[in-house]
Structure 1
Amino acid sequence: MGVEIRVEGLTKSFGRQTIWQDVSLTLPAGEISVLLGPSGTGKSVFLKSLVGLLKPDRGHIWIGDRDLPYLPERDLYETRKLFGVLFQDGALFGSMNLYDNIAFPLREHTKKGESEVKRIVMEKMELVGLLGAEHKLPGEISGGMKKRAGLARALVLDPEILLVDEPDSGLDPVRTAYLNQLIVDLNAEIGATFLIVTHDINTARTVPDNIGLLFLRELVMFGPREMLLSSEEPVVRQFLNARRAGPIGMSEEKDMSELEAEAKMGMEVGKLPPIAPQLMPSDGRVRPGQAPPGAWCAAHGVTPPPGSFVDDLGRNWVEEWPRYVASMGHSSAAGHGQGGQQPAGGAR
C-alpha cells in the first residue's frame, strides 16, 4: 500500500528566479494524482524535490513522520527506497540490455542472489508486457517499449510511491492510451501512491483521482479530479480547452494589454469540456481511490459541464454506477476518490 505525502509551504528558487512558492498539497495514499501546468512552471523540479534530488529553499515534505528536506544523508538514502521513478525518456543504460537495466536497482541496493533477481525482473517484465524482449538493447526498441522498460525498472524494489515524469512524451496517442491503461492497472495491482506530471489533457481527464495545476510560480489548484474539471478558473478552462485566449501566453504569463486585445476581438477561453469517464483497471475492479462519478460535484453543489460522465456508447455513469458496482460485487460505498467510471468503449 502506498504512503501519504504532505507538502507544506514548499518554495524553490534557482538564483534570483523563483520556480514556485508556498506550494502545499497532500497526495493521498494509494491514489493516482496528476500535476499539470504550462511548460517551464517547474513540474519536473517538483518531482525532483519530492525524491530529494533537489533541496527546497523552505518548506516541508512529509513522508510518514519523516521530513525529507531535513533528513540526514543516511536516512534520506533509506527513504528514497520508498520511491520508484519513471523518467521522461526512460533513462535506460544504452550499453545494457533490458534485463540488466531492470535488474540494476536490485543489484545496486539489495543483496539478493541472481536467481531471486531473475524471478523479480521477469515478474516485472511480464507486468509491463515485455517478456521476450529481455535481451534487446534500448537502441533496438521503440519509444513505447523504452517507457515500459523504465516503468519495470521503477517497480523492481516494490516502491510505495511512484513518480512518473511525462509518460506521454514522444509517444503517439494510441501508445499513450495503452500506457495510461497500464498505469491504472498497476495502481490497482500494487496500491502505490502515484504522481504523474503530464501535458496530455486526455491523460489528465481520464486517469487520475486528483489533479493539480501549476501556473505563475504557484499551485493554482489541487484536489479531486471533478473539482478541477468543473472549475471556472480562466487558467484551468484555457488549459483544458487548449486555447490561445486566456492568461497563459507563449512566455507563460500574458500582460494586461494582450488580455484587453483578446477581449476586444471577442476571443474567449471556451466552455469547459464534459468530465470524461475515468479509466477502470482492465479487470473491471474498483480501485480504492475511486468513488461514484459525480459524487464530488453533488456534494459541493456544482453542476458539471453538459455531457459529463457519458461514455462513447451514450451510457450515463452517474446512473450506471450502482448497477455496475453491484454486478462486480463491490460495496456501493467503494472508494473515496473522484471517479470510477467504466471507460468509454463498452462494458467488461
Structure 2
Amino acid sequence: MGVEIRVEGLTKAFGSQTIWQDVSLTLPAGEISVLLGPSGTGKSVFLKSLVGLLKPNRGHIWVGDRDLPYLPESQLYETRKLFGVLFQDGALFGSMNIFDNVAFPLREHTKKSESEVKRIVMEKLELVGLLGAEGKLPGEISGGMKKRAGLARALVLDPEILLVDEPDSGLDPVRTAYLNQTMIDLNAELNQTFLIVTHDINTARTVPDNIGLLFRRELVMFGPREMLLSSEEPVVRQFLNARRVGPIGMSEEKDVSELEAEAKMGMDVGKLPPIPPQQMPTTGRIRPAQHAPGAWCAAHGVTPPPGSFIDELGRNWVEEWPRYVAAMSSPVGGHQIGGPQIGDQQVAGQQQPPGARY
C-alpha cells in the first residue's frame, strides 16, 4: 500500500533565484499523480526535494507522520527507503549488465543472499518485461528498455512511493505508450503512490488520477484529473492545447504588453479538448484509486468539453461505466477469458478496456 505525501508551504531557491514558493498539495496514498509545467519551472527540483536530495528553504514534506526536511540523518536515510526513483535517462551504470544494475540496491542496502537477490531481480525484470535481457549492457539495449530497466531497479526494494522523472524523455510515442501501460499495471498490482513528471500531454490526459501544473514559480492547480482537464485557467488551456497564444512564453511567462497585444488581435488559447477515458490496466480490472468517468464534473456542476469520455469505438463511458463495474464484479464476468462484455464489444483481452492502447 502506498503512503500519502503532504506538502505544505514548500519554497525552494538557489541564492536569489526562487524556483517555486508556497507549494502545497497532497499526493493521495496509492494513486497516480502527474506534475506538468513548462521547461525550467522546477519539476525535477520538486522531485529531488520530495526524496530529500535537496533541502527546501521553508515548508514541510510529510511522508506519513515524518516531516522529511527536519529529520535527523539516520531517520532521513530510513525514510528514503520508502521511495523508488526512475530518473530521466534511466541512470544505469554503463559498466554493469542489466542484472547487476537492478541488483545494486539490494546488494548495497540489504544483507540478502545471492540466491534471494537473483529471485527478486528476476521477478522485477519479469514485471517490466525484460526477462532475457539481464545479461546485456546498457549500451546494447534501446532507450525504452533502459527506462524499463531503471524502473525495475526503482522497484527492487519494494518502495511504497515511486517518483518518475520524464519517462517520455528520449522515447518515441509508441515506447512512451508501452511504458505508461507498464506503470498503470504496476499501480494496479502493487498499489504504490506514483508521482510522474512529464511534458507528454497524452500521458497527462489518460494515465493519472490527479494532475498538477507548475508555472510562474507557483503551483497553479493540483487535483483530480477531471478538474484540471476541464479548467478554464488560460495557462492550463494553453498547455493542454500546445499553443503559442497564452501566458506561457518562450523563456517563461509573457509580459502584460504581449498578452494585451494577443487580446487585441482576438487571439485566444483555444477550446479545451475532450477529456478521454482514463487508461485501464491490461487485465481490464479497475484500480482501487480509479473513479467513475465524469464523477468529479457531475459532483462539482462542471460541464466537460464536448465529446468527453468517448473512446475510439464510440462508447460513452459515463453511460457504460455502471455496466462495466457490474460485469467486473460478477463471478463469471470478472474471471472469464477475454474479460466482460459491454454492449456488443468485448472490453478486455482482444478488445481493450477504455483508454487502453494495445
Provide the TM-score with structure 2 as the length reference.
0.93
Match of residue 241 from structure 1: 241
Indicate if the aligned counterparts of 1:60 and 1:69 stay in contact, CA closer than 8 A. Answer: yes
**Matched letter for residue 229 of structure 2:** L
1:84 matched residue in structure 2 = 84
Query: Is 1:308 aligned with 2:319?
Result: no
What amino acid does structure 2 have at the position aligned with 1:113? S
1:267: how far off? Answer: 1.7
Aligned partner of 2:98: which letter?
L
8 Å contact kept, 1:277–1:342? no
Is the aligned partner of 1:343 residue 2:354? yes
2:284 counterpart letter in structure 1:
G
Instruction: Give the gaps of 5 or more residues in structure 1.
Output: 332-340
Alignment partner, residue 158 of structure 2: 158
Summarize deviations over 1:306-335 as a string: whole Å, max 9, x none: 00000011000000000101111179xxxx
Rate the CA distance shift 1:255–1:166 in 2: closer, same or farther, 3 A: same
Question: Quick one: distance in 1 between partners of 2:288 and 2:116?
Answer: 31
Output the CA distance in 1 between the equivalents of 2:72 and 2:113.
30
1:343 Cα deviation after fit:
2.4
Q: How many residues align?
A: 338
Map 1:192-207; keep pairs closer than 5 Å: 192-207=192-207
User: Which letter maps to 1:290?
Assistant: Q
Aligned partner letter, 1:220 = V
Superposed structure 1 runs of 4+ greater than 6 Å apart: none
1:3-55: per-residue Cα shift (whole Å, max 9, x none)?
A: 00000000000000000000000000000000000000000000000000000
Q: 2:168 is matched by which residue type in structure 1?
A: D
Deviation at 1:257, TM superposition (A): 1.3
Please say if residues 279 and 356 of structure 2, whose CA atoms lie closer than 8 Å, have aligned partners that are also in contact: no
**Counterpart position of 1:277:** 277
**Superposition pairs of residues 193-272 of structure 1, within 5 angstroms:** 193-272=193-272
- Secondary structure in 2 aligned to 1:26? strand
Cross-structure match for 1:105: 105
Q: Matched residue of 1:163: which SS? A: strand
User: Does structure 1 residue 30 correspond to structure 2 residue 30?
Assistant: yes
Note the alpha carbon deviations across 1:217-257, whole angstroms, 9 max, x for none: 00000000000000000000000000000000001110111
For the pair 1:39 / 2:39, whether they are aligned, the reply is: yes
**C-alpha distance in 2, partners of 1:4/1:104?**
27
What residue is the counterpart of 1:337 in the other structure?
none
Instruction: Using the TM superposition, give the Cα deviation of residue 268 of structure 1 relative to its aligned residue in structure 2, in angstroms.
Output: 1.1
Amino acid in the other structure paired with 1:323: R
In the other structure, the counterpart of 1:139 is: 139
Distance 1:81 1:155 in 2: 11
Amino acid at match of 1:51: V
Which amino acid counterpart does residue 111 of structure 2 have in structure 1? K
Provide the rounded CA distance (Å) in 1 between the counterparts of 2:264 and 2:318.
Answer: 40
Is the 8 Å Cα contact of residues 211 and 224 (structure 1) preserved in structure 2? Answer: yes
Hey, what's the Cα distance between the residues in 2 that align with 1:107 and 1:326? 46
Identity rate, percent: 88
- Once residues 132 and 124 of structure 1 are traced to their aligned partners in structure 2, the CA distance between those partners, rounded to angstroms, is 12
- Once the 2 structures are TM-superposed, how far is the Cα of residue 155 of structure 1 from its aligned partner? 0.2
**CA-atom RMSD, angstroms?**
1.4
Residue type of the partner of 1:63?
A: V
d(CA) in 1 for partners of 2:253 and 2:225?
Answer: 25
SS at match of 2:74: helix
SS of 2:286 mapped into structure 1: coil
User: d(CA) in 1 for partners of 2:178 and 2:319?
Assistant: 27
1:328 and 1:290 map into 2 onto residues whose CA distance is: 14
Give the gaps of 5 or more residues in structure 2.
332-351
The CA distance in 1 between the partners of 2:84 and 2:306, in whole Å, is: 38
Secondary structure, counterpart of 2:259 in structure 1:
helix
Who is 2:292 aligned against? 292
Task: Classify the secondary structure of the residue corresponding to 1:131.
Answer: coil
